Structure 1
């Protein structure tokens, strides 16, 4: 995986959502670091795939923290290439900044469908 490839894919995700102005930090960490961030900022003691902070006001601004350990496990579990799974989490984080909610099953299904639709439009054609 290259930073350049991830940056280009992130730009494609943003464009597919109609976002042309963005300042986004992608932070790639391991499970222990994301667990520590969850404890410190979200008050829950568990590993998650992605944590997002941000806002959309005339442009997208935010931070997306992704666990590479979880990305690897989930890619193997779902039979996806690692890079596809990583972009899935980038897209997931962006949707969260835009206000999408996956705390309930219906919202989670809707969000996953949108992520897959976006990624399949430019990855692995």
Structure 2
């Protein structure tokens, strides 16, 4: 998973014209019980989910559909934390099986999704969701993966 996570993160950063070195992202691979605990604690939703993210900086734009503020440049010596991502193996495996997708492709999509969240992208408002889904599709396409939003 480490290589998959690093590759997905680097493609996401590169696509957004951000440095692919110097940023730090912590990724927790966990089971449904652990992610349900995290989802309860941080979102007050007592259920398992596929991915959660905790940005280190508030980069979200005020205007629906706008590009988020850029993250701080990484310090050449200390780097720059973008935030944390948690992914539930059990939920990802079930979703991959249900959609007939390879597990690695689905996890790659969720890591791209999580990194975009760390960079201020979201999908609550319609314009933001459209922008985020377009970016995910473009990034995954560059990686040779299919559009996750097409049937």
TM-score, normalisation: structure 1: 0.83
Q: Which moved more, 1:81-90 or 1:96-105?
A: 96-105
Match of 2:72 in 1: 57
Cα deviation, 1:2-22, whole Å, max 9, x if unaligned, reads 423432332222222222141
| Counterpart mapping for 1:1-125 below 5 A | 2-20=1-19, 21-54=22-55, 55=57, 56-59=71-74, 61-124=82-145
Greater radius of gyration (CA): 2
Q: Is the 8 A contact 1:51 1:65 kept in 2?
A: yes
**SS at the partner of 2:86?**
strand
Distance in 1, Cα, partners of 2:87 & 2:144 = 19
Tell me the SS of whatever aligns to 2:73. Answer: coil
Cα 1:119–1:111 change in 2 (3 A) is same
CA gap 1:34/1:118 in 2 versus in 1, 3 angstroms: same
Aligned counterparts of 1:75 and 1:116: Cα–Cα separation in 2:
17
Alpha-carbon distance, 1:121 to partner = 0.6
How much has 1:80 moved relative to structure 2? 1.8
State the Cα deviation string for residues 60-101 of structure 1 (Å, max 9, x = none): 511011111111122223322111111111111111112112
Asked which structure has the greater RCO (Cα within 8 Å, sep 6+), the reply is 2
Extract unaligned runs of 5+ from structure 1.
none
1:77 to 1:104, Cα distance in 2 relative to 1, 3 A? farther
* Structure 2 CA distance for partners of 1:87 and 1:45, relative to 1, 3 Å: same
More helix, by proportion: 1
Name the CA distance, whole Å, in 2 between partners of 1:103 and 1:17: 21
In the aligned structure 1, how far is the partner of 2:129 from the partner of 2:48?
A: 18
